[in-house]
Structure 1
């Protein structure tokens, strides 16, 4: 079985993330979207919110599941039986950064292969960091976020 982990903070999950996930589904039998806890980042949205968004977006797709993990991505891969890590690439500079991480993960576990997918041109500038800035400043993020996320942030409980 081809099991893959797509790690990130997904704070929030964007249409760029959804594009990468959807285009990867034919490559894997199971895709785990891993919300990584990053001690260096203070998230805007809670882990529960991010997990709920992903589960809602993919509620009708049995090949997709989501989890929260802490620590090394290579260790998370071992826990879930993943042989692949999925990463999205927007710019050449992303590749340089992501390749260094892929090389480190390969050093930690040579059985895990990193797969890079480039995003579609319309999502090149969609980054969670930028989307958070637009949200903080009251801007319209409709074109960047899935409907499930928009509903949640526009109608907080």
Structure 2
């Protein structure tokens, strides 16, 4: 694990569990995908709780909230910059770094810049306040 992982804006490969999968009783993400650390908080026991957003090349469905990743940000995060990509913001996974069985590689592949990371966090906060954020706990 790198000394600075996890940090907001870092992108790593993660077995993301979509909310619809969790609602069906699934507990494993079906495939590893690039995902973004939105925010990290420390819980009462000193563990790092990561809130993780999925990255997809599939255009978001009507009613979903996602930010299109600019080509420059895709290159920074070491993502494919030849295809359109989005960070899905209306659903997140919550996972504890120290006890996670789903985080295999604990080094980021890359990181978004500060302005784009702030835009992600701002939108997630807005969604949370408005009651539009879905969460799948992996803890």
Report the TM-score when normalising by structure 1: 0.23
Larger radius of gyration, structure 1 or 2? 1
Task: Select the structure that is richer in helix.
Answer: 1
Report the TM-score when normalising by structure 2: 0.25
Task: Select the structure that is richer in strand.
Answer: 2
